[in-house]
Structure 1
Amino acid sequence: MSLKVSPEFPVGLDVNWAPSSQVALSDPYLKNWLLDTGSLTERVQSLCRHFSLEKLGQGRQGLHHSEQALLNAATDSDWQVREVLLCADGEPWVYARSVIPQTLIDDELANLGTQPLGKRLFNDARFARSDFELCQATPEALSRLNMDIADTLWGRRSLFSFQGSRMIVAEVFLPGAPAYESRYRYGR
C-alpha cells in the first residue's frame, strides 16, 4: 500500500462502533489482532526490523458524536485529537486516533511528541483499559489518509481511565497489516 500524498489532518474516524461481544468474527487471526489487550505498538515492533511512528497531527479538533457520547463530553474545547501511523519497515500498518483530555496533555502526557502513546499507557499501571468496541471502516471513511485502500478495514477502540480522566484510543488495521494475513493467504 502506498501513500498518494501526505494524509490530511484530521483524518477522522466517523464510523459505527459496536461492543466486541456483539460482533461475529469468523477469522480467528483477525480476531486475535482486534482483541489483543497488550500493547499494539510493541506487537508491531516485534514483527519488523524498523518501527516508525508518523505523527499526522495533534490539536483541538471537533469530536465525532460517538466520541462525545463515549466520553460524556459536552464540548470539544477540553480535548485534543492525536492521529498517527504506526509503520513497520516503512509500510503503514495502523492508523490510530486518540482523543485525549487537555488535562492529561498538560500533565501525564506532556512532551509526547512522536513517541508512541502506547509506550506511556502500557508502562504505567495507573491507566486502566475498557473492553473493546469494533468497527468496519470503508475506504470513503478513511479517504483523508490518501492511501490506496480498496477494502473495508477493521478497527477497534477502547477507553483508558486515569485518576478520573478518560481518553479514547482507536486503531484501524491498514491493508498491509498482518492482521489480514489469512485473507491474503486463503483468499478471504
Structure 2
Amino acid sequence: MNFNNWQNADDAAIKELPFYIAEWLAEFGSLTEKLSRYVEQVKLDVLHEGIGILTADEASALQSKEASCQVREVVLFGPDKPWIFARTCMPFTSKHLIERLGNKPLGSILFSDEELRRQFLQVCQLEESNPLYQSASSYLEKENMLVNGEQPTLWARRSLWKKKDSNDGMLVCEVFLPDAPLYR
C-alpha cells in the first residue's frame, strides 16, 4: 500500500503498518487525551487562527469549491518538545464551531459535542513536497529544531468532522513531529 497518498485507516491499511505507528495513527479517541498519558499536562500553542488558503487536497477532502477558509494551526507539546503540528480547515460558515476555543485543544469540542461525527480517518506518510509537511517543517525550522531534509517523511492522520444533519464541518490534520512517541 502506498502511504505517500492519503489512505483510509481501515483494517487492511493498518495491518500493513508497524504496531507502534498504527497505535497512534488509528487512535479513534482524542489524540490530546492519548498524549496526556505521556505528560502531566499537554501544552498547546496556537500558531495561526484566521483566514487561510486551502490546498487542492484539503478542498477535495472538505468538498469545498472555495479557495480560502478558516484555518487554525497549533502545536501540541510533550515534555519540552513539540510532538504534533495540527491544521484545522473549515468553511467560514463553520467557524462558529471553534470561535471560543482559545488555547484549548480541539478535542475538547470534538469529543464532547454529540452533534459532531467523524466522517473518515485517513493516514499518510508525508514527503517533503507535501504542503502539510512543509508547514510542519517550517515551524520546526523557525524554532531551530529541524534542518530541512533531516526528517525525510512525517506520519500524519486526518479526519473530516461534520455536524449531524448539517454541512458544518472541519478537516483536522495532525502531523507527528520527529520527537513524537510514534517514532520511538
TM-score by structure 1 length? 0.79
1:41-64 alpha-carbon deviations (Å, 9 max, x no partner): 111122102321011101111101
Structure with more contact order per residue of length (Cα contacts < 8 Å, sep ≥ 6): 1
Q: 8 Å contact 1:49–1:88 — kept in the other structure? A: no
**Identity percentage over the alignment?**
36
Q: 8 Å contact 1:104–1:110 — kept in the other structure? A: no
Instruction: Give the partner amino acid of 1:164.
Output: N
State the SS of the aligned residue for 1:56.
strand
Indicate how the Cα distance of structure 1 residues 108 and 132 shifts in structure 2: closer, same or farther if over 3 A, else same. closer
Instruction: Give the partner amino acid of 2:168.
Output: S
Q: 8 Å contact 1:135–1:155 — kept in the other structure? A: yes
Q: 8 Å contact 1:50–1:89 — kept in the other structure? A: no
**Alpha-carbon separation, structure 2, partners of 1:165 and 1:16:** 26
- Equivalent residue for 1:165? 168
1:51-94 alpha-carbon deviations (Å, 9 max, x no partner): 210111011111010111111211134x2111111102221111
State the SS of the aligned residue for 2:36.
helix
Q: Does 1:95 align with 2:95?
A: no
> How many equivalent residue pairs?
165
RMSD: 1.9
Alignment of 1:117-136 (within 5 A): 117-136=106-125
TM-score by structure 2 length? 0.81
**Alpha-carbon separation, structure 2, partners of 1:34 and 1:54:** 22
Alpha-carbon deviation of 1:29?
Answer: 1.6
Q: 8 Å contact 2:94–2:169 — kept in the other structure? A: no
1:142-169 alpha-carbon deviations (Å, 9 max, x no partner): 3312131424111010100113212100
